[in-house]
Amino acid sequence: MTESPIAVFDKLTRVDPPERTPVLFDTACVLGGSIAGLLAARVLADHARTVLIIERDQVNVEGRPRAGVPQDHQGHGLLPGGLAQIERWLPGFTREAQDAGGVLVGPDQQVVYLDGNQQVRGGEAQILMGSRPFLESRLRRRVLALPNVSTLSAQATGLEYHDGAVSAVRYLADGVEDVTSVDFVVDAMGRASRLSEWVERTGYDRPRLQRLRTGINYATALFARSDMPEDLELACALAQFSPPSSPDGLAVGAVNAVEGEQWLVMLMAYGDNQSSSSIEAFRSTCAKMPPIFGEAVSGAVTREILTYHQGDSRRRDFTGLSNFPARLVSVGDAVASFNPVYGQGISSAALHASCLSQYLIGDPAFGLPAAEFFAVQEVVVDAAWTISAGGDAARLDAIEGAEVRDDVQRQRWAMDQLIRATLVDETVADAFSAVAFMLAHPFSLGDPALVERAVAANQRASGLA
C-alpha cells in the first residue's frame, strides 16, 4: 500500500455503493452476530450466494440486551462516520430508526464541554442516538431480511483448512457438534475472540496482541424525558474533566436523548475512582456539571444504575503475518477494542465493512492470506487507536511519571494546543470534530498550518497575542 493513510481513509469513507459486486463464493460465514458481524454479512451478501451468521447468543429484533455484549447497557451512539457507512449499506436505516424512537441529533443540539468550558459549535454532522440493543436490533432486522443471509444459533468451536485456506467451520448447536463447508470466513467474535488460539493450534502464526491499561469504571442510568427530540435545545452532551476540576473524581460524563422518550446518562471514572452507585449520589454529581446533566436526571428513573468495568484496550496485529490462513479475516472488536468513552466502536465496525468491500471488489488472490485487507483495515484501526489510546497513554505517563520521548512530547503538545483551541476557534473545532467523528484521519490534524492557527488562537484567548 503506497497511498498515505489520509488518502486511504478518505476512500474508505466514501458513501456511494460499489460499481460492481462480483459473486465470488457459494457460502460465506460470519462468526458472531455483533454489529461488526452484521455489517460484514451485509457486504458479503453482494458477493456470496449464501451468507451464514453463526451466533451463540439468543437474539431477537425487539431491542433486548445480548449476553455477549456486557457493555450494551452503557452509552452508545452512531457517529457521523459510522452512520454514513451504515446508510451506504442499508439505505433508509436512519429514517427507520427515527420512526422507532431513535434521535437524530443535529449540530445545533450537540455540545462538548472541557472542564466546564464549551467547545465552539459548527459543521453539519449529525449523530444518531439510541441504546446499543436498539441500534443493533434494527441492524439485525435489516440484514436478516436479505434473501441470501441466514443465522444459526450455535457456538463456533474451530476451523478446518485445505491447501492453506479455510474450508469449513466447526460449531456446537444444542449440544451436538457439526461442521459446515465454507468458502470465506469473517471472525466477528469480539474482544474475546479465540481465533488466535485456533490458528496457532494448527500451525499458523498467532497475531500479536497489544494491551493498554485503562481501568474504566462506568455507571449509566435512564431517566424519563418529556420533550420531543425536535423540541430539545440540547440532545447530546459530552463533558470531559481533568483534575482538580473533576467533580467527585469524574473523568467523563455523557447525556444522550434515546428511544422511549428517555435520557441516557453516563458517568465514567478511572482507576480507584468509582462512578456513583446510588441514584442520590448520581444526581448529586450531575448537579456539579453543565446544566443539561442536572436537567436530564431530574425526571423519573426508568432504569436503575448499571455499572461496567473495562481493564484495558486491545488490538491484534494481523499485518505482516508470513503464515496465516487464506480466505479468513477479522473485524470489529476481534481486531481492536478501544476505550469506549470515545464512542468509536460502532463506527470502526462500519468502516471495517468498507474495508471488506474494497478488498472483495479488488480481484484478490484467495489462495493467499488477505494481506491487502489487513493493510487497509490497519488504517482504520490506527485512526481510532491514535485518539483513544493516545489519550490513555498520556494520562498513564503523567500518573506514573514515565519518561516520554521528545517526538511523543511534541505530538502531545500539538494535540493539547488543538484541543484547547476548539474552545475558541471554529476552524480548529471543525477539523478536530471531523477526526473525532471518524470522518477524517487523525494525521490531518498534523497540518502545520492548523497547529499554528491553534497556537495563535490560544495566545489570543489568553491575552498573550
**Tens of pLDDT, residues 59-70:** 654 555 555 555
Same domain, 112 and 150: no
What's the pLDDT band for 409 if we cut at 50, 70, 90?
confident
Q: Classify residue 396: in a domain, yes or no.
A: no
CATH number at residue 339: 3.50.50.60
Same domain, 273 and 302: yes
Same domain, 197 and 271: no
Same domain, 142 and 217: no
- What pTM does this model have? 0.92
Range of the domain at 227: 103-128+212-311
Q: Classify residue 288: in a domain, yes or no.
A: yes
Tell me the C-alpha distance between 100 and 127, whole Å. Answer: 16
Q: Classify residue 389: in a domain, yes or no.
A: no
Query: Mean pLDDT over residues 305-309, rounded?
Result: 87
Same domain, 78 and 143: yes
Alpha carbon 151 to its chain centroid, in Å, reads: 23
Tell me the C-alpha distance between 213 and 191, whole Å. Answer: 15
Same domain, 203 and 244: no
Same domain, 302 and 413: no
Q: Coil, helix or strand for 284? A: helix
Instruction: Count the helix, strand and coil residues of the chain and give each as a percent rounded to the nearest 5.
Output: 40, 25, 35
Query: Mean pLDDT over residues 438-463, rounded?
Result: 93
Tell me the C-alpha distance between 456 and 178, whole Å. Answer: 65
- Which of 217-226, 324-333, 342-351 is the least confident region? 342-351
Query: Mean pLDDT over residues 168-194, rounded?
Result: 95
